[in-house]
Structure 1
Amino acid sequence: MAIIDLMAALMGVSMGFLAFLVIGGISGVSAWIFYPGVSYGVKSGRILIAFLLGSITAAASSYAGQYLGLFQSGQILEWASAIFAACAVGCIFTALAK
């Protein structure tokens, strides 16, 4: 029984990380695509950086909010903070890069 509990705990952590990887990446890339300004062609390196920054920021905001006691894992406020943080960092990066 303890093995099943351990596997469930590990799968929850890995699935949460994958969810923040996807959500943060999409938020970062969409900030790059839809941010107004002159774009000199699609540069895959900068889109990859926006994806990684969004993913890292989404995961960091989730873990920071849980550490500070603002929310628990799985609450809607956790998802909202992850999306907002990823979009904010994506817009800041795009404003500096474009």
Structure 2
Amino acid sequence: MAIIDLMAALMGVSMGFLAFLVIGGVSGLSAWIFYPVASDGVKRGRILMAFLLGSIAAAASSYAGQYWDLFQSGQILEWASAIFAACAVGCVFTALAK
């Protein structure tokens, strides 16, 4: 029984991580693509950095909100804060990079 509980706990953590990787990455990339500033061409390093920063911002906002008891894991406010944080960080990075 302990093995099943351990597997469920680990799958929850890994699925949350994968979800924030995808949500944050897509938000960071969309901020990079749709930010209304003329770019000097597509650079892979900057796009990868926008993806990673969006993912890190999404995970950080989730964990910070849970730490400060603003929401619990899986609530819609957690997802909204993750998407907002990823978009905000993606826009700031894009503004500074372009």
TM-score, length-scaled by structure 2: 0.99
1:1-98 → structure 2 map (5 Å cutoff): 1-98=1-98
| 2:20 counterpart letter in structure 1 | F
Deviation at 1:48, TM superposition (A): 0.2
How many Å separate the matches in 2 of 1:14 and 1:80? 20
Q: CA RMSD in A?
A: 0.4
How many Å separate the matches in 2 of 1:72 and 1:57? 17
Unaligned runs of 5+ in 1: none
Deviation at 1:80, TM superposition (A): 0.2
Deviation at 1:2, TM superposition (A): 1.1
| 2:51 counterpart letter in structure 1 | F
Unaligned runs of 5+ in 2: none
Segments of 4+ moved more than 4 angstroms: none
Aligned pair count? 98
TM-score, length-scaled by structure 1: 0.99
